[in-house]
Structure formats: structure tokens, C-alpha cells
Amino acid sequence: MRTPGKTVKSRQVTLEDIARELGISAMTVSRAINDRPNVDKKTKERILQVAREHGYIRNEIARSLMLKKSQTIGVVVPEITHSFFPEVIRGIEEVTYSSGYHLILAHSAENGDRERSAIRTLVAKRVDGLLISTAQAPETKSAYLQATRMGTPIVFFDRIVDNIGASCVSIDDEECTAKITQHLIDHGYKRIAHLSGPANVSIGRARMKGFKKALRRNSIEFRRQLVVESGFHEDGGYKAMKKLLQLPANQRPDAVVSVNDPAAFGAMAAINEDHLKIPDDIAIVGMSNDIRSTLVSPPLTTINQSPFMIGKIAAEILISEIEGRSMPGRAVIVQAELVIRSSCGCK
Amino acid sequence: MRTPGKTVKSRQVTLEDIARELGISAMTVSRAINDRPNVDKKTKERILQVAREHGYIRNEIARSLMLKKSQTIGVVVPEITHSFFPEVIRGIEEVTYSSGYHLILAHSAENGDRERSAIRTLVAKRVDGLLISTAQAPETKSAYLQATRMGTPIVFFDRIVDNIGASCVSIDDEECTAKITQHLIDHGYKRIAHLSGPANVSIGRARMKGFKKALRRNSIEFRRQLVVESGFHEDGGYKAMKKLLQLPANQRPDAVVSVNDPAAFGAMAAINEDHLKIPDDIAIVGMSNDIRSTLVSPPLTTINQSPFMIGKIAAEILISEIEGRSMPGRAVIVQAELVIRSSCGCK
DNA sequence: TTGTACGCGTTATCAA
DNA sequence: TTGATAACGCGTACAA
């Protein structure tokens, strides 16, 4: 019986090996394998034959070292489970696949230290570029700046950092939130609450701004007690809504703008627990067109952000910067649309 | 105005650079930075100081080439969007993060060629190991074998290949399907249909076997026309169910075992379209405890596979094989549990 | 404690 | 068309 022990890698086949076997130089083998023009047809055939026989697979690590290019981009996301980021990643993958790049995925788990450490090791691995959606943590630009100083371009998406000269891809969070808030106002809601994201990520701040902007445009007084920070998850939405429901009945909101759909789902659970009807007693809207938003009861009015497109565009921009076809500092706004269902009282 | 052009990488700082600046050898710098014991305290401090000033970040590519170890594992999944794989990936990430590995994610998109190409380039990138869930495509073991021949261990998860000596992590698909079918039988359903996965992936075959096994155990006749291949997605489930609903009323199923939850959702839509009631006219059960399974109406009875655990265990096994602490060929069964809701007629 | 020589596998460069 | 040499940046092994 075999016993555990260091895995014995059957020494990998190198260009040298093939060259030696054919009595030629490694350089010629390299040329043949990379399909360069200047190699005799016959020798090329012999080389490819032997390479195939030995199952030669080029060592991309050595190649990367030589070329100072890894054909790899690092992706840092704050979470992977909910439907938004998987869709973004699929968009990214679509682009990287067809342009010959690979994708190292790192998960910051909303933890700033983990995000910094991820960026650092991705830079150490000499990724050609970084795609980042920031963690929910106190901002520290130093890690980003270190990467860009080393010549590693960054494109931020969704949760962006727009003041360090890197490109950003997102929806117009402020305007979208204003739009969906306006939708509620247009339907006669007067006391509108906001379940807000944390102020240390761009979308938290921008959506809050959009909410306030809509109130201002309609000369509706902004009431501090109608804003509760919920974070981005169900439990936070639930707790924040509970808090709003504890207000005296005449101060309670008649509608709620949630920073995203999962928080809205949590809030809906809280509302149901109090035996209030949605939308009759309290209307509610989300912001991320979660896969579940059609299934909850009532179906959630929300904003479709096209996460697939966000990923695709972010990756395209990054690769074009890597390949020197465009300059950093672009700010791309992806179109997003209001999806009207019945949680807002329509239909 | 700056014009686009090849990004100018401010030449990266190397051990040499730091050594030259301090008038010492690169080796001493390497030792200091890697925290080796045999370096003078004072020189070490000076080295670290200079390294910090220059923002030195070790070149992991050079290190990998030297060490013949990339601290990277390749993950190949057939899809990324639905809730199952993101959860698995989170489990994998948890383990790789805490054991100092990185994760290159590749997406086969259910395409065999793309899977093969992914495996090949991951091996070329000299990943230390591979985690694979196979695509829905004619099996070609050669890519797997080539990887293992090169000394790159593979651990299959969920959709496994159990006859090439690689380790596998999955639930007991056959027994689980038998169990949930038995649950329907116990509740008096007589004409049970199966929306089956394709026969070219392990879970398609195993779940079909489990379905048949349950019928046999209860001496229920297996009827060919009550099995329709649906694939793993909503649209396939919808179409397959439509087909079943075209059977003459007395031959129609009174219950359906779907190969997974998304297909079940599609089937439920088809049933609703025909104005039949679930579970009264037709009961239905799924197999993957999708995030939506509590929200559909009625909530879906299904199997909870603990995808997070599957990912975690697969990654643990792979890393222990990479590090020579265990041998390939293990078959780990992850516990899965029946989740009874009301689509089966209970509650 | 520190340094030198070399090798990891590849490709660029220049010479033959 | 082909080959020799050097270089990419690091770490091992051994010598000083």
C-alpha cells in the first residue's frame, strides 16, 4: 500500500527536454510551439509531434516572469453569495475568457483588512489589473494607491472609489434612488423612510443623497428619525424596520426606500410580523432586482442594475487599460431601469 | 494631455535594488524579508525600513517558478449564477484563504470544450490542484488524466467523475433521491414522474437510479413515459412538465420528482398555467434547496445539500493532497437532509 | 552572519 | 532557419 507523502510530480516536460530529444536548441522548440514564422516546416512538425507525445504543456509561470505579464486579473468582492455579485462575475468571466485572461477571485467578506491583504497578495502575484468592489469598512486608500503606483490598473465597480484617478463602473446610484423615491411620491406617499447602507461605501452615501434629493425636489421635509441604517442584508433590514415600526403610529412611515433588495426582504418580514399590509399600510421598494424580488409577496418594485453588464464593462475597461488602449479615470454609468411591481401600490 | 499607450510600469522594486542601495547582497535582503533567523538584527531593520520606503512587494511569480509551487488552485464550475455554486465557492474560499492559497475561477458554461481548455490552461499556469464540477457534456477523461499525470491532483465535487482515481465530494445523490421519492410514496402518490438531468453528468444518472430504486422498493411499476429529461434550469423544467401534462388525464402523474430546484420552479409554472393546483392535483419536490424554494407558492419540499460544506470539504481534501497529507481516491459523502415544506402535500 | 553561484523555464536579442 | 547567451526575480546550497 502506498503511504501519504509529498506528491511526486513526475518532472514536467520542458522545452529543453524536447530539444535534447531532437538534438536541436530549446529556442527552436519554443518558436515552433509558439507558431512563429521562422522555423522550418519539417522540423516544426517533428517538434510538435514530440511535444504532443510527451504531453508538453507550456509553463506559464516562467513565461509570465519573462514577459512581465501574467494574463491574469484579480477580482475582489465583498460577498459572493447573493445574486448580484455572481452575475457581475459572470459578466467579467465572459470578457476575460474571450480575451485570454484568467481571473483570480478574492473575497473580502466585508472586512477591510482582508481586502487590503487580498490586494497586496494579488499585486504580489503580479496580476495585470484589479477589479474591486469595496468592503463595508473604513476607507483606506493606501492599498489601492500602492497597486496603481506599481503600475497595476484598478477598475472599481458598484461600490466605487471615485477620487483616486481609477476608472469606475456603476449605475447612477443617486439618480436611481431619487427616481424610485419620486415614484413613491407620485403615488401620494408622504412619510417616506429610508433604510440606508453604511456611509463608508459609495452606494450607501449616493443612495442616501438621492433619497434626500427627491424629497427636496418635492419640498418634503427630511426627517432624521425616518432614516435607519440597515446594511445590505436581510437581518439588518429586519432590525431597521423593527425600529421604524416602534415609532408612534402617526409618525410611522407610509413608504420605505430600501438601500437594496435583501434589506427590503428583511423589512417585509418585520412588517408582516406586525400584521401590517404591504403596500396598503406601508409600501416598500428595493434597489437591486434580486432573483427573489418577483417571488416575495407582494412582488417588489425595484431597480434593475444589469449586474452582468456592469461586470462586462468593468472588465472591458480594465483590459483596455492593461493593454494601453485607454487611460484610467473613466467614469462609466450603466443604465438602470425602474421595475414596477406591486409592493409600491401599483398594479 | 496624455495619450493612450503601453502602460508604463514604474519598474518594480526587486531584492537586488534594495541590496544595491544598502551595499549588501540580495540574499541577505531575501533572508530579512522572509524573516529567517540568520540575519543581523540591525541590518534586518535597515533592510525592512528601505523595503517599506520603496513599497517592495515580493514577486510571487519568480518565487513560484523557483519553488515549483504556485499556492493557487483552479476551480472549474459549469455555471456561477444560481445559488448552489456561489455557496460552494464561498466554502472553497474560506478554506483557501485560511491556508494561504489563491483561487483561479474558470467557468465552463456547460461546454465540454471550454472545460477542457480551462483545465489545460490552469495546468499551464501550474496550479497546485484542481477542483472540478463537470460540464453537461460528453465525458472526456483525457483532460483530467493529463492533469493528474502532471502531478496536479483533482478533487471533483457535486458533478463527479468517480472512476479515474481522483477524490470526490458529493451528497449521496442516489439515496437522497430515493428518500424524497419514498416520501411521496409514503403520502400515497401512485403515479410519480421524474424530471431528469442529462445522463452525461453523475448527478443526472445517480438521481435517476435513486428514483427507480424507490419505485422498485415499493413494487411500483416504472413507466418510461413518466420520465422526461429537463436539464438543470427553469426553462427545461417548464418544457418537460408541459410534455407530462399532455398525457391523457388518467396517465398524468400525481407527483413529480425534479432533478433540482430550478427545474422544479419551471415545472411549477407549467402546472400553474394549466390551472392545476399544487399539491392537490400534482405534488412536486426538488433537490437543491435553492434560495427561492421557501418563496415559491407553495414552498418547495426539497433536499438541503449544504453547498458551503461541500466546497469546504472539497478544498480541504485537495489541499491535504497537495501537501502530501492524504492520498487521492477518497469518496466523501456530505450529509444532506430532507426539507419538508408544502409542495409535497405535507403541512 | 553574509555572500556567491546556480537553477527554475521561458523568451528577446543578436550572431551564425 | 537556427543557435548561444542573457535575462526575468527569487531561493537553495554551499562557501567564506
A42 sits within 7 Å of strand C by its CB: no
Question: Which chain A residues have a beta carbon less than 8 Å from that of B122?
Answer: 102
Which residues neighbour B259 within 8 Å (Cβ) at sequence distance 6 or greater? B194, B195, B196, B197, B203, B204, B207, B230, B232, B287
Contact B104 A72 (CB under 8 A): yes
Mean pLDDT of A111-117: 95
Do B185 and B266 fall into the same domain?
yes
Q: Domain range holding B47? A: 15-58
pLDDT 10s digits, B204-230: 999 999 999 999 999 999 999 999 999
Do A129 and A229 fall into the same domain?
no
Predicted pLDDT of residue B3: 34
Mean pLDDT of A273-281: 96
Mean pLDDT of B45-72: 96
- State the angle between helix axes of B112-124 and B142-149 in degrees (0 to 180), rounded to the nearest 10: 10
Predicted pLDDT of residue B90: 97
The least confident of A131-140, B169-178, B255-264 is A131-140
d(Cα A102, Cα A98) in Å, to the nearest integer?
10
Chain A residues 58-117 with CB within 8 Å of chain B: 58-62, 64-65, 68, 70, 72, 80-81, 83, 85-87, 89-90, 93, 97, 102-107, 114
Do B138 and B202 fall into the same domain?
no
Name the closest residue (CA) to the C1' of nucleotide D1. A39
> Which of A14, A66, A69, A105 best probes binding to B when mutated, by most B CB atoms within 10 angstroms?
A105
> Does B26 fall in a domain?
yes
Cα–Cα distance list, A288 to A173, A242, B12, B214, B274 (Å) = 11, 22, 40, 42, 32
C-alpha cell at A221: 421635509
Do B270 and B167 fall into the same domain?
no
Do B198 and B268 fall into the same domain?
yes
> For B10, which of A12, A107, A151 is closest by C-beta distance?
A151
Residue A104: strand, helix, or coil: strand
> Does A142 fall in a domain?
yes
Question: Which chain A residues have a beta carbon less than 8 Å from that of B59?
Answer: 65, 124, 126
- Nearest 5°: phi and psi at B174? -65, -50
Backbone dihedral region for residue B337 (phi beyond 0: left; psi -120 to 50: alpha; all else: beta): beta
In Å, how far from its chain's centre is CA A48? 41
B105: pLDDT strictly greater than 90: yes
The least confident of A30-34, B37-41, B174-178, B224-228 is B37-41
Residue A284: strand, helix, or coil: strand
Q: Where in chain B does DSSP place strands (E)?
A: 72-77, 102-107, 129-132, 154-157, 167-170, 192-196, 227-229, 255-258, 283-285, 302-304, 331-333, 337-339
Sheet with A167-170: strands ordered across = A331-333, A167-170, A154-157, A129-132, A72-77, A102-107, B102-107, B72-77, B129-132, B154-157, B167-170, B331-333
DSSP conformation class of B225: G
Predicted pLDDT of residue B294: 95
Do B164 and B312 fall into the same domain?
yes
Do B270 and B189 fall into the same domain?
yes
B265: pLDDT strictly greater than 70: yes
pLDDT 10s digits, A58-88: 999 999 999 999 999 999 999 998 889 999 9
B297: pLDDT strictly greater than 60: yes
- Nearest 5°: phi and psi at B302? -155, -170
Predicted pLDDT of residue B11: 66
Mean pLDDT of B37-50: 93
Question: Are residues A286 and A260 in contact, defined by beta-carbon separation less than 8 angstroms?
Answer: yes
Contact A126 B60 (CB under 8 A): yes
Distance of A65 CA from C11 C1′ (whole Å): 10
A9: pLDDT strictly greater than 50: no
Distance of A62 CA from C5 C1′ (whole Å): 21
Provide the pLDDT confidence category of residue A10 given band limits of 50, 70 and 90.
Answer: low
pLDDT 10s digits, B117-159: 999 999 999 999 999 999 998 878 999 999 999 999 999 999 9
A71 sits within 7 Å of strand C by its CB: no
A8: pLDDT strictly greater than 50: no
Question: Are residues A77 and A134 in contact, defined by beta-carbon separation less than 8 angstroms?
Answer: no
d(Cα A274, Cα A241) in Å, to the nearest integer?
11
pLDDT 10s digits, A205-250: 999 999 999 999 999 999 999 999 999 999 999 999 999 999 999 9
Predicted pLDDT of residue A317: 98
Residue A54: is it exposed, middle or buried by C-beta count within 10 angstroms (0-12/13-18/19+)? middle
pLDDT 10s digits, B6-31: 334 456 899 999 999 999 999 999 99
Please tell me the number of Cα atoms within 13 Å of A319 on its side-chain side: 22
Please tell me the number of Cα atoms within 13 Å of B245 on its side-chain side: 19
Contact B83 A83 (CB under 8 A): yes
Do A104 and A198 fall into the same domain?
no
> Does B1 fall in a domain?
no
Q: How far apart are the first and last CA of chain A?
A: 70
> Does B63 fall in a domain?
no
Predicted pLDDT of residue A11: 66
A202, A190, A168: which is closest to A252 by C-alpha? A190
Pairing state of beta strands A331-333 and B192-196? Answer: unpaired
C-alpha cell at B4: 493612450
C-alpha cell at B339: 426539507
Contact A6 B86 (CB under 8 A): no
Contact B80 A90 (CB under 8 A): yes
> For B59, which of A62, A86, A126 is closest by C-beta distance?
A126
Which residues neighbour A233 within 8 Å (Cβ) at sequence distance 6 or greater? A262, A263, A266
Question: Are residues A134 and A161 in contact, defined by beta-carbon separation less than 8 angstroms?
Answer: yes
B21, B71, B67: which is closest to B46 by C-alpha? B21
> Does A213 fall in a domain?
yes
> Which of A12, A15, A17, A57 best probes binding to B when mutated, by most B CB atoms within 10 angstroms?
A57
Do B191 and B271 fall into the same domain?
yes
With the C-alpha atoms ordered A87, A91, A94, A99, is the resulting torsion angle positive or negative? negative
Residue A169: strand, helix, or coil: strand
Q: What is the CATH number of the domain that holds B46?
A: 1.10.260.40
Predicted pLDDT of residue A107: 96
Which residues neighbour B224 within 8 Å (Cβ) at sequence distance 6 or greater? none
pLDDT 10s digits, A317-327: 999 999 999 99
For residue A228, the tally of other CB atoms under 10 A from its CB is 19
**Single-letter residue type at B46:** R
Cα–Cα distance list, A264 to A188, A258, B86, B118 (Å) = 20, 5, 22, 39
Residue A225: strand, helix, or coil: helix
Question: Are residues A215 and A191 in contact, defined by beta-carbon separation less than 8 angstroms?
Answer: no
- What average pLDDT does chain B have? 94
d(Cα A308, Cα B249) in Å, to the nearest integer?
43
Contact B81 A90 (CB under 8 A): yes
Do A298 and A224 fall into the same domain?
yes
> Does B2 fall in a domain?
no
Predicted pLDDT of residue B118: 97
> Does A275 fall in a domain?
yes
Distance of B260 CA from C1 C1′ (whole Å): 64
User: CA-nearest residue of chain B to A142?
Assistant: B55
Chain A residues 302-321 with CB within 8 Å of chain B: 321
Q: What is the CATH number of the domain that holds B231?
A: 3.40.50.2300
A1: pLDDT strictly greater than 60: no
Which positions 45-64 on chain A have a beta carbon less than 7 angstroms from any atom of strand C? 58-59, 62-63
d(Cα B286, Cα B305) in Å, to the nearest integer?
11
Cα-only R_g, chain A: 26
Do B177 and B297 fall into the same domain?
yes
Count H helices and E strands in chain B, helices first: 12, 12
Predicted pLDDT of residue A297: 94
d(Cα B277, Cα B288) in Å, to the nearest integer?
22
Distance of B240 CA from D7 C1′ (whole Å): 61
Cβ density class A175-210: b for 16+ within 10 Å, e for less: bbbbbbbbbbbeeebebbbbbbbbeebbbbbbbbeb
Q: How many domains does chain A have?
A: 3
> Does A2 fall in a domain?
no
d(Cα A266, Cα A268) in Å, to the nearest integer?
5
B124 sits within 7 Å of strand C by its CB: no
Predicted pLDDT of residue B10: 53
Do B324 and B275 fall into the same domain?
no
pLDDT 10s digits, B309-324: 999 999 999 999 999 9
Provide the pLDDT confidence category of residue A6 given band limits of 50, 70 and 90.
Answer: very low
